[in-house]
Amino acid sequence: MAGSELIGLLARLADVGAREATAREVARALAVDRVMFFVRDPELGSLLPASGFPQTLRGGAVWRAFVRGCAGPGRCEADLDELEGSGPEPHVIAYVQADIALFLFGRSPNVDVLDTVLAALPLVGGMLRAEHAARLAEGRAAVARATGRHANDLATALDAARVDVERALAESARLNGELEERDRRKDDFLAMLGHELRNPMAAISGAIEVMRSEPDDREQLRRARAILERQADQLAHLVDDLLDVARITRGKIVLRPEPLEVGLLVQRAVDAARAAAQAKGHRLTFEVHRRVDANADRTRLEQIVTNLLTNATKYTNPPGHIRVVVDQVGNDAVISVEDDGIGIPEHLLPRIFDAFHQVDPAIDRGAGGLGVGLTVASRLARLHNGRIEVTSTLGKGSTFTLRIPAQGAPSAIAVEKPSVESVAAPTAARARILVVDDNTDSAEMMLALLESWGHEGEHVADGRAAIERAVEMRPDIVLLDIGLPGMDGFEVAARLRAEPTTKSARILALSGYGQESDRVKSRAAGCDDHLVKPVDMALLKRKLFAS
Ligand code: ADP
């Protein structure tokens, strides 16, 4: 092959796609089995195979050592048999220049052709090194691109994490705010409670002072007694409200539903509220648009309506108009209480049923109340499978609408078993009554009352004394406080039932606890009845004179 032809052939090595075929032609021209070119990596300083040449060597450690050994310019050779993983070629000769090496496999090359090829080697080297450098640069760029992509991915992940963290922080700030708000409401509530208790206490102290200093002035005594009655009533209401909230919150209130005519029940609540409304200068009107029956707990339903009426009276400047309407809408009995009072700011409407929530505690203080009335009312409505809704315009008035299912028993209403109250035996007109109470004042007051009703009474202050005295006295009735020191009322009742001389006495338990579980305990201990303190005197009288 002529020299120019050979140079042309070598120049064709530039075409990577045709490189394998070109390399085969070069090998043929050199009369060897195979040729390979190596380029020196400028950074590593070592020879690396140029890409695109046919390779049969598996590149074992001995082969790699041989290549490393051909470090400087010159010629090195080895028998391929000695080289680990060698191919079928028996021999390899490497011609190494500064940054390019020609490896010939197989037989001894044609020397003339070899001279030409070695002369052209710097040319081929320049070409292959440029290619190698480009490949390196592209590799670096690819790494950079991949790194960039990873950096992007990382940035996106970090961003997402930052959003999550910010969201978590916002949520925790919100919860914190909620807790602070609750805390504040609790503090407000305690302050309010103090206020609400101090007022009646001051009035009661005043009345007692009057009774002490003017024991003979009948008119003064009558007024003092009226004050005591009113204040005791107010305190009882306060305690009832608080206990109701607690019981409802713990799901302890059990309804006693019965079929009733809603209009008649509301009429009673309206009649009871009329005096207070009129005393404040309001007009109270009542309309029944349609007769509607419901299966409801009489006392609780009346409590809801009374609460709405009390609020309408409180939060309306006189002279106002309070309008109560009973109607049936769809399957609901609907009771609305409308006033033209001070109204409620729109943004507070959703929270008005929350416990201890008041529009403006400072202003409302004049009106009294603990901010639990609506909470109790709405939860009682829910227990009836109903609800209370409110619409209001500030300065114009409010309408509270109670809806409960009309007729038929609401399925979810819990029905209480008949209590011992309803099966209590009648009592003799003049009875011997043993009062068991460790609070001497209450006991003394009870004795005075019993005597004024025509009964004979005696008082003991603890359980053991009660049993001893009862055996001697054989009372018709035992009024038994449950919370006694040492032996409690339940045990006293059980022992009285076990004693032949006292086993047929009527035992009325008096307790600060009025939940169903307490009544069940009283019954189990042998009590005939369970009255909740403060005892409603009218109820007690009815029970004692029952016939
Ligand atoms: P209380 O009356 O003891 O404060 P409630 O739970 O009955 O508690 O009422 C909560 C608050 O709702 C009241 O403090 C008052 O601000 C507001 N409110 C209730 N009823 C009315 C009404 N008819 N008109 C205007 N505001 C009312």
Q: What are the pLDDT tens digits along the chain (547 aa)?
A: 777 888 888 888 888 888 889 999 999 999 998 888 988 887 778 888 887 776 655 566 777 888 888 888 899 988 877 665 555 657 889 999 988 999 998 878 988 899 988 988 888 888 888 887 887 788 778 888 888 888 888 888 888 888 889 999 999 999 998 888 878 777 777 777 776 777 778 778 888 888 888 888 888 888 888 888 888 887 887 788 778 877 776 777 888 899 999 999 999 999 999 999 999 999 999 999 999 999 999 989 999 999 999 999 999 999 999 999 999 999 999 999 999 999 999 988 988 888 766 666 554 444 456 778 898 899 899 999 999 999 999 999 999 999 999 984 333 443 333 333 333 333 446 789 999 988 777 777 788 778 777 888 899 999 999 999 999 999 999 999 998 888 999 999 999 999 999 999 999 998 877 777 888 899 999 999 998 877 777 788 887 766 3
Residues 6+ apart with CB under 8 A from 186: 356
Q: How far is the CA of 353 from the centre of ligand 1 (A)?
A: 9
The residue type found at 315 is Y
β-pair partners for 478: 434, 507
Determine whether the shortest distance from the Cβ of 339 to ligand 1 is under 6 A.
yes
| Phi/psi of residue 214, nearest 5 degrees | -125, 60
Distance of CA 323 to the CA centre of its chain: 39
Cα 345 to middle of ligand 1, angstroms:
12
Q: Is the CB of 313 under 6 A from ligand 1?
A: no
Q: Is 276 left (phi over 0), alpha (psi -120 to 50) or beta?
A: alpha
CA 362 – ligand 1 centroid, Å:
13
Q: How many CB atoms lie within 10 A of CB 377?
A: 23
Question: What is the phi-psi region of residue 440: left when phi exceeds 0, alpha when psi lies from -120 to 50, beta otherwise?
Answer: alpha
Q: Which two tokens stand for residue 139?
A: 């590799």
Measured by CA distance, the residue closest to atom 8 of ligand 1 is 371
Of all protein residues, the one whose alpha carbon is nearest to atom 18 of ligand 1 is 311
Distance 378 CA to ligand 1 centre (A): 12
Mutate to test the pocket of ligand 1, among 245, 311, 357, 390 (most ligand atoms within 8 A of CB): 311
320 Cβ closer than 6 Å to some ligand 1 atom: no
Residues in the chain: 547
Q: For ligand 1, is residue 370 a contact (CB within 6 Å)?
A: yes
Side chain identity, residue 294: A
Please give the model's pTM, rounded to 2 decimal places: 0.47
Whether a cis peptide bond, with omega within 30° of 0, leads into 534 is yes
Ligand 1 geometric centre to CA of 247 (Å) = 21
For residue 88, the SS3 value is coil
CB-based contacts of 208, cutoff 8 Å, min separation 6: 224, 228
Q: 493 near 507, Cβ under 8 Å?
A: yes
Looking only at the bridges linking them, the beta strands covering 332-339 and 397-405 are antiparallel
The count of other CB atoms within 10 Å of the CB of residue 429 is: 11
